[in-house]
Amino acid sequence: MPYRRLPNTDSARLRAMQKALQKSEGVPPFKLPYSVSTYQELKNFFPEFRQAVTFQKEAIDRQTTKGKQHQESLKKTRLYISHFIQVLNFAIIRGEMKPETRSLFGLDEEESKLPQLNTEKDIVEWGEKIIAGEQKRLASGQAPITNPTIARVKVHYEDFIRINQGQKLLQESNTKTTMKMSQLREKADDLITKLWNEVEASFSELPAEEKREMAETYGLVYVFRKNEKLLFTNLKLNLA
């Protein structure tokens, strides 16, 4: 016997509900093969679920687009911070600045190795440190570090901070959307199960094949197992 397969994707859930509603158009609710209460619940819930699915898709698209911008900004800011520190170290190696200058930037005076710049937290921390450190140098009357200047580093750093904050807000929003969709999917599955049970019960006195055919017009989906499909096909050919 073929088995009934409930939808397991949002698109399939929408199709199942929409097909039942379309089949029910123009039919008095009390003449439908499912209860009036189920009809009202389906009619009210379908638009809500459809809107939620659309909203989640848009949210995922936004996160994908913003995610690319975030990664590009992170990469660019890391590059500028790294280059600024390298230029500082080169100046110290050439004797143009004293090793103690590194302490203004939160760096070890005797260490020319670049700090870790792997994470968002690293970028935020070291961007803030080198901007503050260069401002202290300039305030004391020293010549600015160039190529890149701190002004250029600051432009990229502040742009990254803005994008990073936006990304976190977007992630929080998407987490809430995901939780809501999980609840709505559970409700959709319960509603579709109830709908399909009532439809099958309404056609229960019909022969098996006719029952399935009638139920399918209301969105039910039946799947033959591999061996059953072959037997069913051969049977239909023999009867033809």
- For 51-88, the pLDDT digits (tens) are 999 999 999 999 999 999 999 999 999 999 999 999 99
pLDDT band, very low/low/confident/very high, at 239 (cuts 50, 70, 90): very low
Short-list 222, 235, 204, CA closest to 6: 222
Compute the Cα dihedral for 114, 120, 123, 126 and give only its sign: negative
Long-range CB contact pairs, 39-42, < 8 A, 24+: 41/191, 42/17, 42/191, 42/195
The token duo for 136 is 């202290």
Model confidence over 211-237: pLDDT tens digits?
999 999 999 999 987 766 555 455 444
Instruction: Give CA–CA dist 24/26, Å, rounded.
Output: 6
Q: Where do the H-state alpha helices sit in 94-220?
A: 120-139, 150-202, 208-216
**pTM as predicted:** 0.76
- In the predicted model, what is the mean pLDDT of residues 192-216? 96
Rounded Cα distance, 211 and 4, in Å:
12
Q: pLDDT by residue (tens digit) across 112-138?
A: 999 999 999 999 999 999 999 999 999
